[in-house]
Amino acid sequence: MPSTRSSATEMSAPLLSIRGLKTCFPTRAGLVTAVDGVDLDVYPGECLGIVGESGSGKSVTFASVIGLVRPPGYIAEGAIHFEGIDLRRLDSEGWRSLRGRDIAMTMQDALTALNPALRVAEQIEEVILAHAGGLPGRGRREAARQRAVEMLRLVGIPAPERRIDDYPHQFSGGMRQRIMIAIALSCRPKLLIADEPTTALDVTIQAQVLDLIGDLRRELGMSVVLITHDLGVVAEHTDRVAVMYAGQIVETGPTQQLIEQPRHPYTRGLIGLIPRLSDLDAPIRPIEGRVPELIDLGGMCRFYERCEFRQAACQSDIPMNAVAPGRQARCLRVDEIPRLKEVSQ
């Protein structure tokens, strides 16, 4: 279950701060702006959920943060600071020092992210040896192997002393995901970015992986960014949520408040897709339409064509509006959404 962040934590400086981030990809059809003006903060020790449909810009935002956007893609605008360090000014040596040690990321598909030609031991030890502070000068390889075994044990791999010499294909999907987490956590990072960590896993294994991330977060005192399309996952495992749509943040706030009283029509739509155990016969209302192409969108609400509450004034660039302490939404009718929810039922 998510923890309740204290007012002292809310007043602390963010661990990660993103301002005005814009990431673009040239295509034959035109310039795709996959991330457009994103502002986000991640605070020490919290779990921030990033939720939205496929193609909303969730993964690209944090690929930009961790320096994984490569040409022809590029960051056009924005500032990214981690513990006061300007990440956009880092050279290759600076990234090598930071990535894996202070910031780590688990990818969506563990089978393709792990190297099929290398044993698990080599893949974990590589990260440990790259940031070998604290390991003895002599016997570093053996010390790295011992730490790798400890990491596999920490994430719940049975018989880690034996399984560490297996190849990725010799593990189940859930176990490969655990190995990815072990690699990411091998240097005790301050920030873990978990990109769809339960993709293609059955429900039981999903719960185990998410509980594991929560347990390790509390044990290691790290911050977590949980990227997902599943609001049910967000509701159970995060402190705050940022909802993304068509490359923009459209709503942010404490998880419980946002789910109980959404202030953006898109968030309302996502919540309406969650089956209710209290009424299994209640119809699930899909969000009509589809996400717009991220080319030449112009200055208008990105959700305009799909919004049942749209009005003429929405055909303009909509800023984020404060709706309550710690809550913002990108909607002109933000104060009406609770009432509109009642009218639409």
Class of domain 1-102+189-345: alpha beta
Phi-psi map region of 334: left, alpha, beta (phi>0 left; psi -120 to 50 alpha)? alpha
Domain ranges of the chain: 1-102+189-345
Residues 6+ apart with CB under 8 A from 292: 246, 302, 305
Check the CA dihedral 260-261-262-268 and report its sign.
positive
Q: Is the pLDDT of residue 19 over 70?
A: yes
Q: Give the confidence band of 4 by pLDDT, cuts at 50, 70, 90.
A: very low
What pLDDT, in 10s, does the model give residues 198-211? 876 778 878 888 88
User: Can you give the length of the chain in residues?
Assistant: 345
Q: Is the pLDDT of residue 179 over 70?
A: yes
* Mean pLDDT, rounded, for 19-45: 96
What pLDDT was estimated at residue 202?
78
What pLDDT was estimated at residue 79?
97
CA separation for the pair 297, 300 (Å, rounded):
7
What pLDDT, in 10s, does the model give residues 87-111? 999 999 999 889 989 999 998 888 8
* Mean pLDDT, rounded, for 136-150: 84
What pLDDT was estimated at residue 231?
86
State the pTM of this model: 0.89
Q: Which of 26-30, 75-79, 105-109, 196-200 has the lowest mean pLDDT?
A: 196-200
